[in-house]
Amino acid sequence: MRRELLIIAFVMLISLASCHSLYAEFPQKLSANSQAKIWIAYGHGGSAESDLESLQKADLITPSGDASAIQLEPYKSGLLGSISLSEKGCYLLDLQAETALFDPTWYGSSGYRSLIEKYAHVLIPVESGNGYSWSDGEGLEIVPKTDPYGLKSGEKFSATAMWNGKPIAGSFSATIARLPDDVLVIQHSQQTEAEGTCSDGSMSFEIDKPGLWVVSFDATIDEPGSWTASSDDPKGHYKKGDKLQYDSIAPTAFLTFWAGL
């Protein structure tokens, strides 16, 4: 009975974690030569179910491709920052959460050790979509084929998932994090609007309503290796500096963008 309960708890843990998104909230309409506040969270629309204390990477990419680190501070279990929008075009937040290791034996189940990596891009068009398909060819990315500027309900959105610059098979889903409103107003729109699988990273779906959309893509890379922990595991399974072996990499990528009426 104890083993059965542990397995059920393990399944529930994975299910709940898979519903979370690394995404950002920001104003829907922005103009050049202005400032914009951004709130980055790991959770559902309008709330952060898990505290996000830091990010492994948080860069702002300008429409011309220049990158700079974003200064962030804790805010409502997430991270708050301000960005300068000095030119027209699509700015992009390039984010990566802290890497972690997951071993099902910790929860009384069997299985392989996985290196958990979470990446995110956030599309912020400013009077133009120029530069929206930026990619650095590293890790797991969702690279859009559709210009986010002026994107409206009833139109199609297409993108390709890439692992280190090459298309990869996996599964995707799209949800609306919140409905159009003032920035940082709590909404709880969590319904899945589209989902599917693909063998070559290609995904396409209809934008059926306006809002702040978050697309997620999950993949599995069967490549064993070793990883040195960059911080202590919150549950105490490993310490910073420990060198750990894993059987596969389980990356997830997220893409956030606004769609209008």
Mind listing the pLDDT tens digit for each residue in 54-64?
999 999 999 99
Confidence of residue 177 (pLDDT cuts 50, 70, 90): confident
Q: What is the pLDDT of residues 63-122, one digit of tens each?
A: 999 999 999 999 988 999 999 999 999 999 999 999 999 999 999 999 999 999 999 999
69: containing domain = 2-259
**pLDDT confidence of residue 221:** 97
SS3 track for the chain: CHHHHHHHHHHHHHHHHHCCEEEEECCCCCCCCEEEEEEEEEEECCEEEECCCCCCEEEEECCCCCEEECCEEEECCEEEEEEEECCCEEEEEEEECCCEEECHHHHCCCCCCEEEEEEEEEEEEECCCCCCCCCCCCCEEEEECCCCCCCECCCEEEEEEEECCEECCEEEEEEEEECCCCCCCCCCCCCEEEEEEECCCEEEEECCCCEEEEEEEECCECCCEEEECCCCCCCCCCCCCCEEEECEEEEEEEEEEEEEC
Give ∠ CA 228-122-60 in degrees, rounded to 5.
Answer: 75
Q: Which two tokens stand for residue 241?
A: 């500096």
| Domains of the chain: total | 1
Q: What is the pLDDT of residues 14-70, one digit of tens each?
A: 433 445 899 999 999 999 999 999 999 997 655 455 689 899 999 999 999 999 999
Query: Is residue 89 within 8 Å of 129, Cβ to Cβ?
Result: yes
Has this prediction a pTM greater than 0.95?
Answer: no
**pLDDT confidence of residue 27:** 93
**pLDDT confidence of residue 241:** 97
CA distance 132 to 107: 41
**pLDDT confidence of residue 10:** 38
Dihedral sign, Cα of residue 239, residue 244, residue 246, residue 252: positive
Residues facing residue 185 across a β-bridge: none
CA distance 63 to 49: 32
